[in-house]
Amino acid sequence: MSAAHPRLTAALRELKDRTGLSLAALAGRTAYSKSSWERYLNGKAMPPRQAVQALCRIAREPEGRLLALWDIAESQWSGRAADPRPAPPPGPEPGQPPPRPRTGAERSRLRGRALLVALASVYAVIAGGVALTLPALERTAAADQPRPASSGYVLAPRCHGAACEGRDPMRMVCAVDADTLTTYRTTTGAHVELRYSAGCGASWARMWGTRIGDRTHITVGGPAREARTVDEVDAQTYVYTQMTTAGPGSVVRSCFRPAAAGAPRECFHIRVGAAPAASRR
C-alpha cells in the first residue's frame, strides 16, 4: 500500500461521514455499489477518480485537493511512480559472437506467438467489459428494490477525554461528529482549522495549502500537539495534529509557524461553545 493511500482513505471517510449517508444511500446516489464503497472507505481498494469526484460533489467539498492526493496515491499504488523507462536490452558478453539472424521458420513461429498474445488480450478486454457490465446491471436491478434505512458500516469514536490525549483523530474516528471551531487564513495563504469532537471530548488542528516545513500546534492548557508539513503529499492535503483533551468552555489556542526563516508566528484562539468563526484574514 502506498504512503498516500491511507491519507486518501481517511479523507474520503471524513467526507462520507459529513454527508450523513449510509453506504446503501451513497451507492444510490453514485455509480458505485455499496460493496465497492465499503472497499474504498476501508482502504481495501483504490477508488476510481470518478468516485472521488462524486463523493466531493455530494459533500460539497472542492475536489482539487482530494484529486491531487488521488493522483499521488494512484501512481504509487499502480507503480507508475517508479521510473517508467525500460531497461536497455542486454548486449552480447565480451568475447561472444553476435546473435545469428533468425531463420524464416523461427520468424513464423514468433509471429504465431504474437498473434496468440494479441488474441488473448482481445479476449481479456471482452471479458473485462462483461465483468464491468454485470455489476452495473445488478445495480440497476437493485435500484428497483427497497433499500435498508441503515447500513452495517458503523463508525463511532474509539476514545474519550484523557484516553484521546496524544492520539490520532482519524484513527480514533473522532472526525465523525467533529465541528470546526474556527478557520484561520495565514499571511502565506495556508489555512488552519481548530476542530472539536464532543463525542471524543478532544480538540485538534488541521492545516492545508501549506509549504514543506510549515508547522502548527494546538494547546488547551496542557501539552502542545504539533503538526509539520514534511513532504509534497502533506503539502497537497490535510495535515493533522494529535488530539488534546477539551470540553465545553475550554479555550483552544493555536500558532502557525511558516517555514521561511525569520517569518513571525501567527497565533489565534477560540472558546469551545462559542459561535463558529468564519475564515479570518
Quick check: 277 pLDDT over 50?
yes
Question: Which whole number is the average pLDDT over 187-200?
Answer: 94
Helix (H) or strand (E) holding 254: strand 251-257
- What pLDDT was estimated at residue 158? 87
Average pLDDT over residues 116-140: 45
pLDDT of residue 82: 57
Check: CB of residue 249 under 8 Å from CB of residue 273.
yes
Percentage above 90 pLDDT, the chain: 40
Helices (H), 79-144: 104-143
On whether the CB atoms of residues 263 and 169 are closer than 8 A, the answer is no
Quick: pLDDT tens for 208-218: 899 999 999 99
pLDDT of 100: 57
* Residue 83 burial (CB count, 10 A): 6
Torsion, Cα 257 171 237 195, to 10 degrees, reads -60
Rounded to an integer, the average pLDDT of 73-97 is 60
pLDDT higher at 191 or 107? 191
Average pLDDT over residues 274-280: 61
Mean pLDDT within 111-136: 47
Most confidently modeled range among 78-87, 102-111, 158-167:
158-167
Is the per-residue pLDDT at 207 higher than 60?
Answer: yes
Instruction: Report the mean per-residue pLDDT for the chain.
Output: 78
pLDDT at 142: 40
Hey, how many other C-beta atoms are within 10 angstroms of the C-beta on 76? Answer: 18
Q: What stretch of H or E contains 50?
A: helix 49-59
Residue 108 has pLDDT above 60, yes or no: no
State the pLDDT at residue 124.
45
pLDDT given for residue 35 in this prediction: 92
**Least confident range of 205-209, 241-245, 264-268:** 205-209
